[in-house]
Amino acid sequence: MSEINSLLSVENLRVSFDTRDGATTAVDDISFCIKAGQTLGIVGESGSGKSVTCYAILGLLQQPPAKVEQGKALFAGIDLVASSEKVLRTIRGNRISMIFQDPMTSLNPYLTVGEQIIEPLMVHAGISRHDAKTKAISLLSEVGIENAAKRFNQYPYEYSGGMRQRAMIAMALITEPELLIADEPTSALDVSVQQQILELIKSLQQRLGIGLIIISHDLDVVRDIAQHVVVMKKGVAVEQGEVDQVLSSPAHPYTRELINAVPRGVKPEQYRFAQDSARGLLEVRHMSISFAGFNAVDDVSLRLRQGEILGIVGASGSGKSTLSRGIVRLEQLDCGEVLLEQVPLHALGKAALRSKRKDIQMIFQDPYASLNPRMTVHDALAEPIKLHGIARSQEGIRQQVVRLMEEVDLSAAWINKYPHEFSGGQRQRVAIARALAVEPKLIVADEPVSALDVTVQARVLDLLLQITKKRGLSLIFISHDLKVVNYMADRIITMRDGKIYEV
Amino acid sequence: MSIVIAPADPAAEPQPGRSLWKDAWFRLKKNRLAMFGLWTMLLLIGLSILTPWIAPYGYETQDLALGAAPPSLSHWLGTDTLGRDLLTRLLYGGRVSLLVGFAATAVSLVVGVLWGTIAGYVGGVVDALMMRIVDMLYALPFMIFVILLMVVFGQSFVLLFLAIGLVEWLTMARIVRGQVQSLSRQEFISAAVVMGLSDSQIIKRHVVPNVLGPVMVYITLTIPAVMLFEAFLSFLGLGVQPPQSSWGVLIANGVETMEEYPWLLIFPGIALSVTLFALNFLGDGLRDALDPKSVEQNRIE
């Protein structure tokens, strides 16, 4: 696989981790190479070893527990895998730079952005502070930050998410690296910003003629930007080659699965909503919610019928989460009404509201945060069952829990497991089961799949469709991803600046 | 992180639900250091309870002729300057120290956790009000407060650990409030609200179990601090009075005669250190046992 004039060539790389069950192989015999001026995409789900590969190349893995068992990573004649930390330090952040996923956490909040951008330059090139600053400011405006001279002296909290990622890109490029590694550079960003950042990376890469490795779980990102692609699954490169070739006629079943997992078009006929028979279930009238004078939700009215799936799309900050929290009364309304089967939820007293909560449940975005880490699946599911008297005897409750677990395709043998023992998709299934436990009439799902991998996402979406159909539930499905909402919803409304627009 | 999930065995009968507490006990039993700590503490507590029957001498029995004698067969740990048996005095001192340590910590635990949880969970005006009260008590010169208590109510044992406990809870309340505040922003608390749980149920089932980790650690720090504090109060004449004794008092006296009679410092020092070690092991073990995520480490052992 090694080629002359390649910028970086990785040969037979194998990385393992020491765990309590012995060594597990995280990266298994991976080879690829990238030439100057080219872009390579590495695609795979979380846990597929795509990040580990790049961390291993840069010597960023903590060893132990990680261990590079075999392989080479040749960069300009130097084998990075065999190099000492001292050699690596002269390369890392200098000739090879990296952009991380989350611009919120990869910038130091206590230093100005400018300070952080010039740091690598002063460390590696040893140029004066003044020159570094001049260069940083011109680079900042080049990555699309307006008023760069002023922005240079601001702190990360004064930047938006997209701007932080632009600043990260500036930081990565300031030492004029030959190779840039971008690890999920857009997945923590808003959809509306993602495309801009990708375009920016692409144009900079072409203009500077550097090599680019882009790691992503999103095939569309890779399709957009890369010429070559490596598809990884469980540490193995199942397929690699030209992007057009691989994506148009995938040879490996896993690649096909990845491609098919991206929701396209609308849901299958049998899940569609029968308009006529349905009666009204929920009505929201002129709801407004504000925080310290900021109108998060501004005079929103909507209706939902029984068995209907209503999609709400909007960028972050558009007020869609606040709307959903207002509907389930996690937020107090400034004004307006929420009627569930003509019962005014907004006007109920505490006790009355608690018993009415049975009818309206919520599924949250992050299945890592929405389950109590100290409760087993059994306890988490038994709690609502006991509370609303759906079953009373210990045995009855247990049977009900098992039934719920089966409904969401979880093995009943896992009944005593804690949330951390599950994968993200399985946790979200537990959260769905918990919402179903009280036999609600309406479920509000706030970004229920955006924290999940694409293939897992597809399965959870189908599960949600099946369950709503089978139980005759209504669903309010909130997402930033238009493709997903298009697939799921019978009717879609968009939100912007706290207001809704029917589509 | 790779989490290995056991493949579903279709033949496996679904087991009955287990609670966090049963799980915690199960895990604690597997942690040898923690169990060592637990047994040591039980032993010390047992000895303290049985002291009047097992102590070789009376705690005020003097043998002035003997003076400060090094350890011997008749006095295993030696005697102090008044010829009193050190082992006996250690045993009796342990009763005071352990009682003060545990009782004062229990007061601070109950008051502090309740106060902090309510303030952190309810938030808003209630939180501000409750925490300002804590701030005010912090600002109060503590010694004056204790002396005042002693003067008004007279010197008593109960008052001693009440006084210490009433001061120690302030820090506990602050720690717990911070934890609870960050916890209540977590989605699983919102999920519990949506489920229809009442505030007290949420606090009991979702909030408190999740703050126990830091609370455990703080407790293991508080107990020894309280024991030393008692020594300080006794030194000022506000705690236990001679001829009664406590480990803190014994250590303080031992320091004065350290060069001539080192055993008077060494043995009380060992008693206190062993207690602290045992408490630390136990505290760490409890923290891990109450955290389901730590189950993996225990399995290795």
pLDDT in tens, chain B (301 residues): 334 444 444 334 445 555 677 778 888 888 888 899 999 999 999 988 888 887 777 777 777 777 777 777 777 777 777 778 888 888 888 888 888 888 888 888 889 999 999 999 888 899 999 999 999 888 888 778 777 877 787 777 777 777 787 788 898 899 999 999 988 888 888 888 888 888 888 888 888 888 888 888 888 888 878 887 887 777 777 777 777 788 888 888 888 888 888 888 888 889 888 988 888 888 888 888 887 776 544 443 3
Chain A nearest-CA distance from B191, in A, is 7
Domain residue limits, chain B: 25-50+81-300
Q: Is B18 on the interface with A (CB under 8 A)?
A: yes
Contact A378 B4 (CB under 8 A): no
- Going by C-alpha positions, the residue among B35, B166, B37 that lies closest to residue B104 is B166
CATH code of the domain in which A238 resides: 3.40.50.300
- Coil, helix or strand at residue B80: coil
Last residue of a domain, one of A122, A152, A176: A176
Residue B133: per-residue pLDDT? 92
Q: Are residues A257 and A404 in the same domain?
A: no
Q: Is A416 on the interface with B (CB under 8 A)?
A: yes
Ramachandran region, residue A425 (left: φ > 0; alpha: ψ -120 to 50; beta: rest): alpha
Contact A376 B17 (CB under 8 A): yes
Residue pLDDT, tens place only, A405-456: 998 888 888 888 888 888 888 889 999 999 999 889 999 999 888 878 778 8
Residue A243: per-residue pLDDT? 81
Chain B nearest-CA distance from A406, in A, is 12
Q: What count of other Cβ atoms lies within 10 Å of the Cβ of residue B13?
A: 8
pTM of the model: 0.75
Q: Are residues A148 and A215 in the same domain?
A: no
Contact B190 A382 (CB under 8 A): no
Residue pLDDT, tens place only, A355-369: 889 899 999 888 888
Residue A21: per-residue pLDDT? 64
Q: Are residues A202 and A161 in the same domain?
A: no
Bond preceding residue A65 cis, omega within 30 of 0:
yes
Low-confidence ranges of chain A (pLDDT < 50): 1-3
Residue A503: per-residue pLDDT? 64
Q: Is B206 on the interface with A (CB under 8 A)?
A: yes
Q: Is A429 on the interface with B (CB under 8 A)?
A: no
Residue B39: per-residue pLDDT? 93
* CA A478/CA A471 separation, integer angstroms: 20
Last residue of a domain, one of A150, A176, A202: A176
Q: Are residues A287 and A386 in the same domain?
A: yes
Bond preceding residue A64 cis, omega within 30 of 0:
yes
Contact A401 B186 (CB under 8 A): no
Alpha carbon separation from A209 to A179, A183, A433, B186 (Å, rounded): 9, 19, 51, 45
Q: What are phi and psi of A175, to 5 degrees?
A: -90, 10
Last residue of a domain, one of A131, A150, A176: A176
Q: Are residues A318 and A187 in the same domain?
A: no
Residues of A in contact with B295 (CB under 8 A): 418
CATH architecture, domain defined by B25-50+81-300: Orthogonal Bundle (1.10)
DSSP element (H, E) containing B73: none
Residue B294: per-residue pLDDT? 64
Residue B8: per-residue pLDDT? 41
Structural domain count of chain A: 3
* CA B157/CA B50 separation, integer angstroms: 19
Pull the structure tokens for residue A212. 């680019």
Chain B nearest-CA distance from A266, in A, is 30
Q: Are residues A277 and A415 in the same domain?
A: yes
Q: Which of A338, A363, A374 to mutate to test the interface with B (most CBs of B within 10 A)?
A: A374
Q: Are residues A18 and A152 in the same domain?
A: no
* CA A142/CA A1 separation, integer angstroms: 36
Contact A394 B16 (CB under 8 A): yes
Residue A291: per-residue pLDDT? 84
Residue B10: per-residue pLDDT? 39
| Domain ranges, residue A74 | 1-95+177-261
Contact A361 B194 (CB under 8 A): yes
Residue B176: per-residue pLDDT? 92
Calculate what percentage of chain A has a pLDDT beyond 90.
11
Q: Which residue has the tokens 């790691």?
A: A215
Q: Are residues A242 and A151 in the same domain?
A: no
Q: Are residues A301 and A386 in the same domain?
A: yes
Q: Are residues A81 and A206 in the same domain?
A: yes
Q: Are residues A315 and A401 in the same domain?
A: yes
